[in-house]
């Protein structure tokens, strides 16, 4: 079974020379690469804080899911990478609002990120 690279203009294009795809689908499994809070129409980081960055990162995840034939209802796992533990509550509130119930499984990891506060990836399984 071949892997299919998922690409959409509705999510940021990886920087030139970056060895990754926005998403990869194999059979009914779709992995979305970590999506950053970059607005795909401007190519720039969204203004604001962690709430705005969380929302944009999730919107970018959703765009790649949609391009791969999936939606949030197909997501089993979201991983959130956050730079500052003090921003957890604000991120969590925005996450809950955008993702909605029933919530997929989630892991939140505190890491250093280059110039932004949040990055989010997803694992989806399509079909029954």
- Which parts of the chain register pLDDT below 50? none
Which helix (H) or strand (E) segment is 59 a member of? helix 50-67
Percent of the chain scored above 70 by pLDDT?
Answer: 99
pLDDT for position 9: 96
Q: Three-class SS of residue 11? A: coil
Q: Residues 81-98: pLDDT tens digits? A: 999 999 999 999 999 999
Asked if residue 118 lies in contact with residue 35, where contact means CB atoms within 8 angstroms, the answer is no
Strands 75-82 and 105-110: parallel
Strands 75-82 and 3-6: unpaired
- Which residue ranges make up each domain of the chain? 3-12+21-125
pLDDT for position 128: 65
Pick the CATH number of 3-12+21-125 from 3.40.50.620, 1.10.1740.10, 3.40.640.10, 3.30.1330.40: 3.30.1330.40
């Amino acid at each position: 079974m071949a892997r299919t690279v998922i690409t959409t203009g509705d999510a940021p294009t990886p920087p030139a020379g970056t060895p990754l795809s926005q998403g990869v689908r194999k059979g009914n499994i779709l992995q979305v690469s970590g999506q950053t809070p970059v607005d795909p129409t401007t190519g720039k980081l969204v203004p604001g804080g962690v709430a705005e960055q969380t929302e944009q990162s999730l919107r970018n995840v959703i765009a790649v899911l949609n391009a791969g034939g999936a939606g949030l209802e197909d997501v089993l796992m979201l991983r959130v990478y956050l730079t500052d533990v003090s921003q957890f509550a604000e991120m969590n509130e925005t996450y809950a609002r955008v993702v909605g119930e029933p919530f997929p499984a989630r892991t939140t990891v505190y890491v250093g990120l280059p110039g932004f506060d949040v990055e989010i990836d997803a694992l989806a399984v399509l079909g029954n």
